[in-house]
Amino acid sequence: MHNPELNDAVLLSNSHIEAIVRAAEQSLDVRRRYQFFVWTQSNLQLLIPHQVAICGAYQRAQRELVFDAFNNVTIADEVLLSLTAPRCVLMQQLQGLWLEARCKPVRVTVEQLEGQALQPQLAGLRAAGILELLVHGVSRPQRPSEIESFFVFALQNAKLTPQHSSYLELMMPHIHATWQRVQVVEREVNASPQPVPVNGARQTGITERERQILSWLREGMSNQQVGEVLGISALTVKNHVQKILRKLNAANRAQAVARAMSMNLLDRAPIELVKAPA
């Protein structure tokens, strides 16, 4: 376990200072889950580069941390589901290491994690090229064991540095407040009837199926996950995504989602779809 000397001065370049300011400003406009995903893929990437983010918030109703996963690389569905399952053993172990580090950002290698129950999850992480995890969170004042939010970030085939840990320490108040706000808004939206969306797809040539796929991409779902929802193969989803990128002139999924939102192609949460043949 690496616990960086976070009391040392953090060397900030002009680009990093600008990224911190912009990320903090943009966080104020984040209300929905898909907006949170897009936000993490913009200026926050320069500070905390990651391809996988596991975000947890304490839910009073369940009396425990409830986790959600965002990823833009392929990870086995069963691994993602296990990482977000209630009382996940791996997440509990990471929380323990974080508490041992006195609630400071901690970099944990997969090899450091122990326990027979963790082996399927660890094998899945290794298969995805995830070798190290950067964890941090927020706990109640004077009660560190009462965790309010907890986050895990990871890169494929790469390690995060002490500098990234320092950036995470700087950004954690914004990440925590933003994720907490998203939880509140999502609960309110899910409890209210959804308006019928305005179909602006004609302007871009985006088809209804592509709009559906975009709706799930903004939720951070993988090709495999989208395919299971829509009843089509992951390869078919991949082909649709490539067409979407070309039509929106986007370099990646996050950019495509951001452009779709700015063009009002997606103005409600993804609808529950009945599986249909491709």
How many whole angstroms separate alpha carbon 149 and alpha carbon 92?
Answer: 13
- Give this prediction's pTM: 0.69
Fold designation for 201-262: Arc Repressor Mutant, subunit A (1.10.10)
Percent of the chain exceeding pLDDT 70 equals 87
**Longest CA–CA separation in the chain, Å:** 57
Q: Which residues pair with 135 in a beta bridge?
A: 106, 152
Banded pLDDT at 271 (limits 50, 70, 90): very low
Q: What is the predicted pLDDT for the residue at 132? A: 93
Q: What is the predicted pLDDT for the residue at 193? A: 54
Banded pLDDT at 194 (limits 50, 70, 90): very low
pLDDT greater than 90 at residue 69: no
Fold designation for 14-190: Beta-Lactamase (3.30.450)
Better-scored residue on pLDDT, 59 or 7 = 59
- As separate numbers, helices (DSSP H) first and strands (DSSP E) second, the chain gives 11, 5
Banded pLDDT at 102 (limits 50, 70, 90): very high
Residue position matching structure tokens 């994690």:
113
User: Which H or E run contains 134?
Assistant: strand 132-140
What residue spans in the chain does CATH classification 1.10.10.10 cover? 201-262
CA-based angle 112:67:27, to the nearest 5?
105
pLDDT greater than 70 at residue 99: yes
Contacts of 73 (CB under 8 A, 6+ apart): 51, 52, 128, 129, 156
What residue spans in the chain does CATH classification 3.30.450.80 cover? 14-190
Q: What is the predicted pLDDT for the residue at 275? A: 38
Summarised one tens digit per residue, pLDDT across range 121-144 is 888 888 888 899 999 999 988 888
Summarised one tens digit per residue, pLDDT across range 13-61 is 888 899 999 999 999 999 988 889 889 988 899 999 999 899 999 988 7
CA-based angle 66:261:250, to the nearest 5?
105
Contacts of 256 (CB under 8 A, 6+ apart): 214, 217, 241, 244, 245, 248, 250
End-to-end CA, the chain: 46
